[in-house]
Structure 1
């Protein structure tokens, strides 16, 4: 059963520039969706609330196998239940640690404003230092991919490898459709029908988001949570070309976020030692659409760096 910390709830947090749930009813709605989504996950080996300079970070460990852990970072408005389809396969590859992003809806609790990308790397670095004494493999989907790369830019000594799935703001900006989805995330008065339509764009309209526990979680996060995060900054060319860790970047061919083939070509030019590919049938909801393929590709990539069991 999931353990809930004391979260930031209510108008008393307005103006403090930390993420908070706008009112108690909204928090209860989100907590119910989190609990339902969490029930779909494999058994948790350990739950940890890690203190950092910017707040307490909720982390979960799944699996107890050998090998360097694989850390999972979810997309915007998401949290650990996002990984329901992926955890069984990824746990067969490596022990897994999931984090709820600080400043986003989830069970991490922000206490200090994040002012720039260095701050966003700092809390993640502090959390990982507390959880693991060695560099870890970091996998991020959507904005979690940006967070993974941002960590490697500022704290490369903590990253054994980078894996990103349809990450925005790494090799380029975003499309107007993604900007509309982002606006839906910050407008609390938007009707639920319109918000669900925006979420449907992300998944290519395959399934209505309200049909899935993780969709309910994201919809509640968009509606009920107020985030105060700095504008996402794309790493500079110099920062990207300075990366030396093994890098697997997958772009979704049907993504609304960016022009995938163009960005993949740019990534290959900037980082010729990396592995960058486009999955033509995938949408931005790639992690839920292709869990087996993701687990297989991640296993192949990591085995090329550190064979399983080492």
Structure 2
């Protein structure tokens, strides 16, 4: 019996997604190299973008998205450090899942193995939405690989998923009319016409339609797990996010012992596209404080 893993629902769907992925990748700065890294759970596709210093920034996109999500962010982040961007296993992208991923520990395992295969001993791990959850989860289960965590409005990390996200998930199902899925994407993005206005938005819309993820719901970290994260952390909570209660999420993020927590009142869950310059400035200040030995 074939393992139950994420994958494209048809070859035609896969081809449509890859065309959209190629189109969206052309909006990014040119990478200096690309890699395919074998892990226990599949092959991970990664791209490296040149930048100063030795410790890279590793970028983890959110659910149903992939590396082109970072089109607006890469120029600012490249000025700070070398950047490595990954397509996540079990989500639409160029990484290929071959074995079921069933636990938070296994989510951390494949990511740790991918970074080891890329020759990365330690990294500043930056993620948005479920990518933010992945960054915190890696710091919980494989802390030796993490120099710091940067979590941008992370999902199911500092606050439970609310009813609005359940409604979004229903509206975004593949059998829904395209205009309904586009409305759902616009809603979670704070009103932006995401699917129509950008190559990365069109890529997300195609991926949601032609890819079936088999990943379990991420495990909500316990208070003790969050307190175990001893590396520096920058947590940005979007004040207009629909995925959790923003003030409560910001308060719980302070369980991280070395957390710098910021609540951005005007930001939506799509803050990477809304505030690329502000994100770069926040990351620059955070990394500078680590270099200066800030506690």
Q: Secondary structure at the match of 1:305?
A: helix
Q: Give the TM-score of the pair, scaled to structure 1.
A: 0.91
Shift of 1:267: 1.8
1:102/1:72 Cα in 2 relative to 1: closer, same or farther (>3 Å)?
same
Q: Deviations over 1:11-54 (max 9, x none)?
A: xx9x6311111012211221121111100000111100000000
Match of 2:240 in 1: 254
SS of residue in 1 equivalent to 2:125 = strand
Judging changes above 3 Å, is the alpha-carbon distance between structure 1 residues 228 and 24 closer, same or farther for their aligned structure 2 residues? same
Asked if structure 2 preserves the Cα contact closer than 8 Å seen for 1:135 and 1:160, the reply is: yes
Distance 1:133 1:219, change over 3 A: closer
8 Å contact 1:184–1:222 — kept in the other structure? no
Alignment partner, residue 102 of structure 2: 115
Aligned counterpart, 1:146: 133
Given the alignment of the two structures, is residue 203 of structure 1 paired with residue 177 of structure 2, yes or no?
A: no
Query: Would you say the 8 A contact 2:159–2:248 is kept in 1?
Result: no
CA distance in 2, matches of 1:226, 1:56: 17
Q: Find the counterpart in structure 1 of residue 260 from structure 2.
A: 275
Following TM superposition, where does structure 1 have runs of at least 4 consecutive aligned residues deviating by more than 6 angstroms? none
- Structure 2 length-normalised TM: 0.96
Could you tell me how far 1:208 is from its partner in structure 2? 4.2
Asked if 2 retains the 8 angstrom alpha-carbon contact of 1:146 and 1:168, the reply is yes
Task: Give yes or no for the alignment of 1:106 onto 2:98.
Answer: no
The aligned residue for residue 10 of structure 1 is: none
Report the CA distance between 1:133 and its aligned residue: 4.1
Are residues 1:62 and 2:49 paired? yes
Provide the alpha-carbon RMSD of the alignment.
1.4
Find the counterpart in structure 2 of residue 7 from structure 1.
none
Residue number among 150, 158, 165 corresponding to 1:178 in the alignment = 165
Measured in 1, the distance between the counterparts of 2:228 and 2:194 equals 41
Q: Any residues of structure 2 matched to 1:155-234 within 5 Å, and which?
A: 155-185=142-172, 187-234=173-220
* Distance (whole Å) between structure 2 residues aligned to residue 254 and residue 163 of structure 1: 19
Q: 1:238 aligns with which of 203, 224, 241?
A: 224
Which consecutive unaligned segments of at least 5 residues does structure 2 have? none
> Number of residues paired by the alignment?
292
Instruction: Determine which of 267, 275, 279 is the counterpart of 1:290.
Output: 275
